[in-house]
Chain A
Amino acid sequence: MNPFNYHKPSTLAEAVALHRDAEDPAYLSGGHTLLPTMTQRLAAPSDLIDLEGLAELTGIAAEDGTLSIGAFTRHAEAAASAEVAGTLPALAELAEGIGDAQVRNRGTIGGSLANSDPAADYPAAVLALNAVIHTDRRQIAADDYFRGLFETALEEGEIITRIDFAIPSRAAYEKFPNPASRYATAGVMVADFNGTVRVGVTGAGPCGCRAHAFEAALSAHLDPAALDAAELPAIDFNSDLHASAEYRAHLVRVLAQRATARLVAAP
C-alpha cells in the first residue's frame, strides 16, 4: 500500500470540497473493495476521504411506501434492521447473503452501488424495487444508474447519500453464489407491485439489468411456468471459470422461476 492522506470530514459539503481539492482522491466507506486494491498496489489514491460519521449517509426509515436506507448502512445493519425486515424481508435476506460476516460488518450499500461490481447483490434489488439513488447533488432513477462494467451514472466526486426503495406487495431474491468468492454468479429479484412485476438481474452481464420479457410474462401470469419460454435479457452474458454464458443464462431463468415460486408461496 502506498502512503496517502487520510481525512474524516464531518459534513457532506466538507467531504465534497476535500474531494475537489485533492490530487487523486477516493471516498472510503467499508473499504472492502477499495482497500484490497490498494494493498495489491492496483490503486494508489493520494487522499482517502472517510465517509463514516456523515449524518446525511446514515439511518433507515420506512414511510409512505418507501424504504430509505442511508448510503453508509453496512450490510449487517440492513440485514438486522427491523424496518427492512418489516417492509422488505427480501432485501434483508439479500443483505444477509452478501459475502461473510466480516464483509457484512464492513461493507456498505453506498460503497457497493458506487462500485457496481457485476457480481454484487444490491443491483438486483435496486432495479427490481425501482429505487431512487440520492446523491449530494441530485436523484438518479434505478433505470438510469447502471451504465456498464464498473460504470455508473455517478459523476466525479459525487457521493451517494441514500437509496429509496419502493416497497412492493411482495418480493423474493434468489442468488446462485460463485462457489469460491460467494459473490453472485447470478442473482434475481422478483418484485410484485400489485400485479405489476419488476425483475432485477445481477451477475449475469456487465452490470445489473432488468429482465423485461420476464416482467411482462409475470405481470400477465404470476407463475414460474410463465418464464419457461420467456425471452432472456438481451445482454452479453458473462463467461468465466465458474459459469459459461450459456449456463449463466440458464441460471437467470431458473433463479427467476425459483424467486417467483417463493413469492407466490409467500403468505
Chain B
Amino acid sequence: MSAETGIGAAVKRREDLRFITGRGTYTDDLNVPGQTYGVFLRSPYARAKINAIDAADALQVDGALAVFTGQDAAVDGLGDLPCGWLVKSKDGSDMVSAPHPPLAVSQVNYVGEPYGLVVAESLAAAREAAELVAADFEELTPVVAAAEAAKASPIHEGLEANLAYDWELGDEAATDAALAAAAHVTRLDLTNNRLIPNAIEPRAALATFDPTSGEYELRTTSQNPHLERLVLSAFVQIAPEHKLRVVAPDVGGGFGSKIFVYAEETVVTWAAAKVGRPIKWTAERSESFLADAHARDHVTHAELGLDEAGRFTALKVRTTANLGAYLSLFGSSVPTFLYGTLLAGQYKTPNIHVQTHGVYTNTTPVDAYRGAGRPEATFVVERIVEAAARETGRDPAELRRLNMIEPGDFPYETPVALVYDTGNYQASLDRALQLVDYGGFKQRRAASEAEGKRRGIGFSCYIEACGLAPSQLAIQLGAGVGLYESGEIRINPTGSVTVFTGSHSHGQGHETTFAQVVSDKLGVPFDDVEVVHGDTGRVEFGLGTYGSRSLAVGGSALISAADKIIAKGTRIAAHMMQAEPDNVAFEEGAFISGNQRLTLQEVAFASYVPADYPPDLEPGLSEKAFYDPENFTYPAGAHIAEVEVDEATGVVQLVNFVAVDDFGHVINPMIVDGQVHGGLAQGAGQALLEHGIYDADGQLTTGSYMDYCMPRADDVPDFTVDTTVTPCTHNPLGAKGCGEAGAIGSPAAIINAVTDAVGTEDIAMPATPEQVWRKLHGL
C-alpha cells in the first residue's frame, strides 16, 4: 500500500483543515428555525431541601416561555439517570445507588446540581427569568471530604450510610501473611487530587421534537451518541430508539467527560416536546466547572513488602474513592475494576489485595477522565516502588527491572484478574534510560545546584488495560452493556468507500487514521475513503470512544468488515474471471487469478450492475461487522521526569521528560505523538497545577480559570517521546491504544522527581510552590 498514506504513515489529519480554519461545526454552531434557549437553575448549596419553587415572576419576563422543575419531570415519568456498572461489595451485596433524578425534586446534593430549566425566546430573556425564579431552600449540613464520609450521617434520605460499596479484589490473607514475612515493608499515604476535565468546548445540547412523527433529534457533545440514545431510551424513557436520533457533530475534546449521560441534554430533549419548540443549551465555563463529572479524588494507604533481594512479595492497598453526590454513568467502575485490576503494574508481585470504599459526598459526581482508574493505580504502584527503592538504598530503575515480568512470561496472569498478552517492559525502560542519559544525571544535578536549584529524577513504569472490553467479561463484572464495536464498509458503485464506525472522534483524528486502515487493507486510495461517525441516524450502532478503545476495537471491526468485503469480492471476481474462488488472491486492491486481474472498483461496479454475476449472491458490496475483543490490550511504557526546584520559592519546573511507550503497531505516528504530548501535559497538570477544591461548606473554590490552573505550553518542556513495539496478540491490527498513556504514566514520574529533589515522600499533588517551599524548609 502507499507509503505516504498507509498504515504507519504520518498522514496529516484531514479534519484539521476545518478545525484550524474555524470551520468545524460544533453543537453551539447549529441553529434551527423556531429555536428557543434553555438556562438551568442550579443549586447554590451543597446540600439543601427544596421547600418551594416559585416561577411566577420569572414567567412575567418578556420572552419567557416556561419553567420546568423536578416535580414536572417526575409527573411526566422521566426516569432517573442510571449508573451503568453494578459493583458488588465484598459481602456480595449490590452497591447502594442513590436515586438520581435529572432535575432535583426534593433535595439538592451538590453546588451546581440542576433543579429546574427556564426556556425563553432568547438567551438573555432566559437568564433574566432564571434570576427571578424564587427557590426556597432549607440548608442541610453537607459532607464534603471523602475521608470522613463513611462515618458521617448519610447525605441521601433513605440510604443508611454514605458508603456506596466496600469492594475488594485479591487474596487478603495471603497478602497479609506475605507482608508479615517481608524483609522490608514500605508504607505510603497518598492522595490523588480531584480534577476537573475542562474540554475546550463546553457541553451543549440542541433538541428538537416533531409532533407529526413523534421523533426527537438531539444534537449534543457526546463521545458515544448510541450509548446516549440507549440510556435516554431504555432508562430515562424519553422515546423508543427508532424515534430518537442522537447526533454528536464536531466535538471539541472530552477526555471522558462527554461519555456520560447528563441531566442537561436529557431535560432539554424532554422539554423540547413540552414547549413544542427546539431548545438549545450551551454550558458557560462556570457551569462546566460545576456540572461536568469530576475526576480522581482518592485517598489511599498502601504497603509494599520486599524480600532481602528486593523482590516484591506483596502489595496491600486501601482506598477511599469520592464518588460525588450521585453515581455517574461509569463512576462506580473507575475506582474498582479500572483501578484494582492494574495494581500489579509491570511487576511479578505475587500477592495483591485492594479494598475500595466508594463514598457519597455533597460534591459534583466523579467519573472517568483520561485514564480512568489507571492513573490512580499507576500513581500508587509507581510511587511506592520509588519510595521502596529509596528506603532500601536501591537504584529505582534497577529495583523495577528486578521485579519486572519478563518477555518470556507472557501470557502472564496477575493476582488481580488480568492476563497480560504481551509486552517487553525492559525494552522501554532501557530506551528511556538511554534517551534521558541516566548516567549524566549527577552532572545535571550539580549544574542545577550551582544555580540554587535542586534537581530530581523520577520514574514511572506504567501499564494500562485498554481496548474496553471483552463483552462477556465486562458484563460478568457488572457492566450494563457489551463493549464490542461496530463497523461498516460500503464500497460505492464507482469504487469510492464510505466507512461507518461506532467509534467517535472528538480530537483523536479517526477520520484520518481509520481511512488509513481501510485504504491500506483494501488497497484503495486514501482520498477515496470517507469516515462517518457520531450519528445514530447514519451509523448502525456503536459504543463510542473512551478507554483508548477506538483503534483496537473500532479499527478491528473495520478489519473484519473489510475481510467480508474481500470475501464477497473474491466470489464476484472469481465468477467474472471464470476461476475458482480459492484460486483468486486479493493483493493491493485487486483480485488476481493467474494473469487475470480485476480491481476492487471493477468488482464493486459489477456488484451494483450485476450483469455477469454469481447467481446465488446478493448484489451490492457493503459489509458490517461487530468486533468483540478477546482480551484487553496492555499498552505499557517507561516515563522519566526531571524537575528543578527553586529553593527560595518552591517553584517546580519540569525540565525534561522522556516517554517510551509500547502501543503495539502504530497506524499514524504523528497522531500518536500528539496524543502522548497531550496526555503528558494533562499529567503534568495533575502533578503540578490542577486541583478541584471544595471548602467546608461544599462550595467549589476553584470554579474558574482564575483559580483552577490548567497547564500551559510554558509549563512543560519539549517532550522526548519514542515507542517500542510488541504487537497486541489478539486483534488483527496488533494495536493497543495510545490515548491515555501520557496522563497515566506521567504524574507518578513527576512526583517521584519532585520527592527526589526535595528529599521527602510527603508531597501531595499538585506540588504547588507553597507546599514544596514548606517541605523544603520544614515549615
Contacts and interface: CB of A to CB of B under 8 A. Distances in A.
A247 B773 CA distance: 8
Nearest to B651: A176
A179 interface: yes
B773 A41 contact: no
Nearest to B702: A241
A181 interface: yes
A249 to B, nearest CB: 12
Given A179-B768, A244-B770, A251 B649 contact: yes
B767 to A, nearest CB: 11
A35 interface: no
A103 interface: no
Given A180-B708, A250-B773, A241 B648 contact: no
B707 A180 contact: yes
B693 interface: yes
B706 interface: yes
Interface string A37-76: 0001100000000000000000000000000000000000
A254 interface: yes
B124 A1 contact: yes
Interface string B631-667: 0000000000000000011000000000000000000
Interface string A1-33: 100000000000000000000000000000000
B127 interface: yes
Contacts of A180: 689, 702, 705-710
B648 A254 contact: yes
B444 to A, nearest CB: 23
A138 interface: no
B769 interface: yes
Interface in B544-566: none
Nearest to A254: B648
Nearest to B286: A40
A176 B769 CA distance: 10
A176 B649 contact: yes
Contacts of A181: 705-707
A137 interface: no
B124 A241 contact: no
Contacts of A250: 773
Contacts of A254: 648-649
Given A41-B127, A241-B693, A254-B649, A247 B770 contact: yes
Nearest to B711: A179
A40 to B, nearest CB: 8
Interface in A219-250: 241-244, 246-247, 250
A89 B286 CA distance: 38
Nearest to B715: A179
B701 interface: yes
B127 A241 contact: no
Contacts, number: 40
Nearest to B770: A247
B705 A243 contact: no
Q: How large is the interface on B (under 10, 10 to 19, 20 to 34, 35 or more residues)?
A: 20 to 34
B131 interface: yes
B133 to A, nearest CB: 14
Which among A178, A241, A242, A243 has the highest number of chain B CB atoms within 10 Å?
A: A241
Nearest to A185: B769
A181 B706 CA distance: 4
B770 A243 contact: yes
Contact of A241 (B707, B710, B779): B707
Contacts of B706: 178, 180-181
A1 B779 CA distance: 46
A16 B697 CA distance: 45
Nearest to B646: A254
Contact of A242 (B124, B648, B768): B768
Contacts of A247: 769-770, 773-774
Q: Does more than half of chain A's interface fall in helix, strand or loop, or is it mixed?
A: loop
B770 A242 contact: yes
A46 B707 CA distance: 30
B88 to A, nearest CB: 39
Given A1-B124, A242-B768, A250-B773, A41 B131 contact: yes
A244 B707 CA distance: 14
A181 B708 CA distance: 8
B121 to A, nearest CB: 15
A242 B131 CA distance: 32
Contacts of B773: 247, 250
A179 B689 contact: yes
Interface string A147-191: 000000000000000000000000000001011110000000000
Contacts of B701: 241
B284 to A, nearest CB: 9
Nearest to A240: B707
Interface string B112-124: 0000000000001
A254 B768 CA distance: 17
Interface in A103-145: none
Nearest to A181: B706
A242 B705 CA distance: 13
Nearest to B701: A241
A181 B768 CA distance: 14
A179 B709 contact: yes
A178 B649 CA distance: 13
A242 B707 contact: yes
A84 B689 CA distance: 34
A201 to B, nearest CB: 16
Nearest to B705: A180
Contacts of B648: 254
Contacts of B774: 247
A180 B768 CA distance: 11
A15 to B, nearest CB: 28
Nearest to A39: B284
A169 to B, nearest CB: 27
A82 B221 CA distance: 48
Contacts of A251: 649
B640 to A, nearest CB: 24
Contact of A179 (B124, B127, B769, B779): B769
Contacts of A246: 779
A251 B701 CA distance: 23
Interface in B698-720: 701-702, 705-710
A250 B648 CA distance: 9
Contacts of A244: 770
A241 B774 CA distance: 15
A243 B707 CA distance: 11
Contacts of B770: 242-244, 247
Nearest to B766: A179
A188 B769 CA distance: 18
B326 to A, nearest CB: 26
Interface string B705-741: 1111110000000000000000000000000000000
B64 to A, nearest CB: 16
A218 B206 CA distance: 63
B708 to A, nearest CB: 6
A150 to B, nearest CB: 15
A27 B127 CA distance: 25
Contacts of A179: 689, 709, 768-769
Nearest to B124: A1
A134 B648 CA distance: 39
Contacts of B708: 180
A33 B127 CA distance: 21
A41 B689 CA distance: 29
A1 B774 CA distance: 43
Contacts of B649: 176, 251, 254
Contacts of A40: 286
A180 B693 CA distance: 14
For the complex of A and B, the 8 pairs showing the least CB-CB separation, nearest first, are A180-B709, A181-B706, A247-B770, A179-B709, A254-B648, A180-B707, A241-B707, A243-B770
7 contacts: A40-B286, A178-B706, A179-B689, A180-B710, A181-B705, A241-B707, A251-B649
Given A179-B689, A180-B707, A243-B770, 8 more contacts: A179-B709, A179-B769, A181-B705, A241-B707, A242-B770, A244-B770, A247-B770, A254-B649
